Amino acid sequence: MSATTPVPAPDATRVAVIGLGAMGLPMALHLAGAFPVTAFDPAAERLDAATGRGIRPAATPAAAAAEADVVLLAVRDQAQLEQALFGTDRESGADGVAASLPAGGVVIITSTIGAEPLRAMAGRLGERGLLVVDAPISGGPVRAGAGDLLIVVGATNDALTLARPVLDRLASTLTIVGSRVGDGQILKTINQLLAGVHIAAAAEAIALARGLGVDPEVVVSALADGAAGSFMFSDRGPRMVEAYRGHSEVKSRLDIFVKDMAIVADAAAAVHVPTPLAAAAQQLYLIAERQGLGAEDDSRVVTVLSPA
Amino acid sequence: MSATTPVPAPDATRVAVIGLGAMGLPMALHLAGAFPVTAFDPAAERLDAATGRGIRPAATPAAAAAEADVVLLAVRDQAQLEQALFGTDRESGADGVAASLPAGGVVIITSTIGAEPLRAMAGRLGERGLLVVDAPISGGPVRAGAGDLLIVVGATNDALTLARPVLDRLASTLTIVGSRVGDGQILKTINQLLAGVHIAAAAEAIALARGLGVDPEVVVSALADGAAGSFMFSDRGPRMVEAYRGHSEVKSRLDIFVKDMAIVADAAAAVHVPTPLAAAAQQLYLIAERQGLGAEDDSRVVTVLSPA
């Protein structure tokens, strides 16, 4: 990514970004290095942070999308997504993306909300002649700003072709799961099942090591590269050890897993597949949230099992 | 390991191996390449398999240990270990290792039985002037026969010094966890907690993918190298996919996790540390065993969640 003022090509895809949070802002800034970008966020300070760095601010999602070819949505959950697409005024929907994006335009949805809710929204957008790319993202804010995200995609070829320049700018790994909207959500749902369970398993391992009087750092270094290893054990294990030393940098909020394990539970129940470990992990994240840890790093879940 | 007839040095450590099962036999054969080895197994056909390949058979554990410097025990569980050490005749204990191994001799225990039971046995052996090395192993039969095991050790320096030539012959990775007997068991217990939970999590991921109509192979290849990855997801995930195609090679028996998750549960309850995911995994392995899968590959646990 160049640090100089971006100069998009005259015929470049016009992009609107809705949501300038932890992921949306770095994505918007990185996109602005290659495309003309308009953006909206309900928080004035976030919109200000983007304005003047090559991004044109808009007063509503509808205003941001009015002259766009591709709209990228980077909002937290299903409720925010409904609002951004279909408006806060549920009668007219006048300020939502769907009210202004010209027919044939593409909506890229990067949020994790589950396959069924996304398919319902895609149906409503399709009635207006809009195309949808189901593209949940992983990787965190730093990678979001460097075009280094993992994106799993469900989309028709038509939608994918139009969205491709934007996706390629953001992703270092782009996996086309299938042609159905929702296929990306399914893969992300399974990703979160594994990630959420592995973090909770790491917490049990660290807590048990402490309980049995063995240094958790020895446990992580002895086991991380063997049959007991996981990305999360290597990544969160040391952060759990740090948590007991009072360090508390928030790299990934715990309440993301409160949201996402509920999506896992809903998806599994809908198809009658038992997922007892995911269910146990969901309860742990809920307990942690009830203890006031929702905005803390997810590694803090270890303190539910072994408080001090 | 040389394929020629082994010729141990005249002053080499004399080793007795008790238990010639899936791990004990390949370890005994590999040790026989460097040391004089005597062995015992209650099954005549196993003892016959070792005899004539450089290993001297013995009629009882006591007979095997009578002229040994180091006794290596490779039996399945606590009950077998008690019997091998202290005899089937509980009054005299005459046929157990402890009845014949000369004072100052070393007992290496490679079984996974948990820290507390091992410490109790080490206490009894210590009363007879015997040293104990707590050395649970990981790696499977092929690596056992190649000196390529992972061994986690709890032992005093004196015991470790005497056992070291034998451990070095067997291990490619030797981690000295601490000087207390039981420290090796603790690390192995935590290893099994993570391994058992990760296999069950992989099963939930594969079963949910099938339920949601996404190819499990796509899921494994898309997610294995990212934040959702684990050794077990990469290793057992493809074996779970194979299980549905009727393939059923047994690389690691499922009932090992029935035994080891009970050890995890006992250890965690003893120190009052909650381990809800390990508990859920334990129940899954018990259900699988009840369904007749105890002697099958542990990847078959996926069929509990998604039968066909």
Q: Is B209 part of the contact surface with chain A (CB cutoff 8 Å)? A: yes
How crowded is the C-beta side of A180, counted as CA atoms within 13 Å? Answer: 13
Residue count (chain A): 308
Q: What is the pLDDT of residues B19-60, one digit of tens each?
A: 999 999 999 999 999 999 999 999 999 999 999 898 999 999
Interface contact flag, B276 A274, Cβ < 8 Å:
no
Of A115, A177, A211, the CB nearest to B271: A211
Cβ contacts of B264 on chain A, cutoff 8 Å = 208
For the full predicted model, state whether its pTM sits above 0.80. yes
Helix (H) or strand (E) holding A171: strand A171-178
The pair of structure tokens assigned to B172 is 């490619």
ipTM of the complex: 0.91
Segment holding B233, helix H or strand E:
helix B231-243
Cα dihedral sign for A277, A74, A31, A5? negative
Active site residue A259: no
Give the number of other CB atoms < 10 A from CB of residue B282: 23
Per-residue pLDDT reduced to its tens digit, B245-280? 887 789 899 999 999 999 999 999 999 999 999 999
**Between β-strands B137-138 and B131-134, what pairing exists: parallel, antiparallel or unpaired?**
unpaired
Distance spanning both ends of chain A, measured CA to CA:
43
Nearest to B230 by CA among B259, B203, B251: B203
Q: Do A271 and B211 touch (CB under 8 A)?
A: yes
List residues bridging with A152 in a β-sheet. Answer: A175
Mean pLDDT score of chain A, rounded to an integer? 93
pLDDT digits (tens, 9 = 90+) for A266-299: 999 999 999 999 999 999 999 999 999 999 999 9
Phi first, then psi, for residue A32 (nearest 5°) are -65, -15
Q: Do B267 and A212 count as a contact with CB atoms less than 8 A apart?
A: yes
Residue B125's Cα: distance from chain center in Å?
A: 21
Beta bridge partners of A230: B230
Is residue A37 a contact partner of residue A169, using CB atoms and an 8 Å limit?
Answer: no
Distance from CA of A5 to the nearest CA of B (A): 33
Tell whether A234 lies on the interface with B, counting CB pairs under 8 A. no
**Percentage, residues of chain B above pLDDT 90:** 86
Tell me the C-alpha distance between A288 and A184, whole Å.
28
Q: Is the pLDDT of residue A78 over 80?
A: yes
Three-state SS for A66-95 is CCCCEEEECCCCHHHHHHHHHCCCCCCCCC
The 10s digit of each residue's pLDDT in B49-100 is 999 898 999 999 999 999 999 999 999 999 999 999 999 765 666 899 999 9
Domain range annotation of chain A: 15-180, 187-305
Q: Tell me B49's DSSP state.
A: H
Residue A11 pLDDT class (50, 70, 90 cuts): confident
User: Residue A221 class from Cβ within 10 Å (0-12 exposed, 13-18 middle, 19+ buried)?
Assistant: middle
Q: Are B228 and A195 within 8 A, CB to CB?
A: yes
Separation of alpha carbons A237 and A249, rounded Å: 14
Burial class (CB in 10 A: 0-12, 13-18, 19+), A267: buried
Query: pLDDT (tens digit, 9 = 90+) per residue, A160-213?
Result: 999 999 999 999 999 999 999 999 999 999 999 999 999 999 999 999 999 999
Q: How confident is the model at residue B171 (pLDDT cuts 50, 70, 90)?
A: very high
Residue-level pLDDT at B52: 81
Look up residue B71 and give its DSSP letter: E
Q: Any CB–CB contact under 8 A between A197 and chain B? A: yes
A window 41-70, beta carbon within 8 A of B: none
Cβ–Cβ under 8 Å, residues B71 and B133: no
Distance CA B270, CA B201 (A): 25
| Among the ranges given (B1-10, B63-72, B207-216), the one the predictor scored with the smallest mean pLDDT | B1-10
Coil, helix or strand at residue A26 = helix
Q: What is the pLDDT of residue A7?
A: 61
pLDDT of residue B3: 45
- Per-residue pLDDT tens for A82-114? 999 999 765 666 899 999 999 999 999 999 999
Q: Read off the pLDDT of each residue in A244-271 and give the average, rounded to a whole number.
A: 93
Q: A119 exposed, middle or buried (CB, 10 Å; 0-12, 13-18, 19+)?
A: middle
A308 at B interface, C-beta within 8 A: no
Which residues, in sequence order, are CB contacts of B222 under 8 Å at separation 6+?
A152, A175, A177, A187
Q: What angle do CA A34, A36, A42 make, to 5 degrees?
A: 115
Taking the CA atoms of residue A184, residue A186, residue A192 and residue A197 in that order, the dihedral angle to the nearest 10 degrees is: -160
Look at B209 and A191 and tell me if their CB atoms are within 8 Å: no
pLDDT (0 to 100) of residue B94: 81
Any B CB within 8 A of A273 CB: yes
**Distance (Å, rounded) from C-alpha B182 to C-alpha A264?**
38
- Examine the pLDDT at B8 and tell me if it is beyond 70: no
Give the pLDDT confidence of B141-152 residue by residue, as tens digits: 999 999 999 999
Task: Write out the H or E segment, with its range, that includes residue B15.
Answer: strand B15-18
Alpha carbons within 13 angstroms on the beta-carbon side of residue A278 total 31
CATH superfamily of B187-305: N-(1-d-carboxylethyl)-l-norvaline Dehydrogenase; domain 2 (1.10.1040.10)
What local confidence, expressed as pLDDT, does residue B26 receive?
A: 97
Q: How many CB pairs under 8 A join A and B?
A: 215
Q: What is the pLDDT of residue A8?
A: 62
Contact criterion met (CB < 8 Å) for B231 and A235: no
Q: What is the number of other CB atoms lying within 10 angstroms of the CB of residue A259?
A: 18
Confidence at residue A90, expressed as pLDDT on a 0 to 100 scale: 58
What is the spatial distance between Cα B185 and Cα B151, in angstroms, rounded to a whole number?
10
List the single residue in B with minimal CA-CA distance to A230: B230
Task: Tell me the angle at which helices B276-288 and B183-211 cross, rounded to the nearest 10 degrees.
Answer: 70
User: What is the C-alpha end-to-end distance of chain B, expressed in Å?
Assistant: 43
Task: Summarize pLDDT for B172-205 with one digit per residue, the tens.
Answer: 999 999 999 999 999 999 999 999 999 999 999 9
Q: Best mutation site among B153, B172, B186, B194 for testing chain A: the one with the most A CBs within 10 Å?
A: B194
Cβ atoms of A137 and A101 within 8 Å: the answer is no
Q: Which CATH architecture has domain A15-180?
A: 3-Layer(aba) Sandwich (3.40)
The pLDDT score that the predictor gives to residue B91 is 61
Element (H, E) at A173: strand A171-178
Residues of A in contact with B216 (CB under 8 A): none
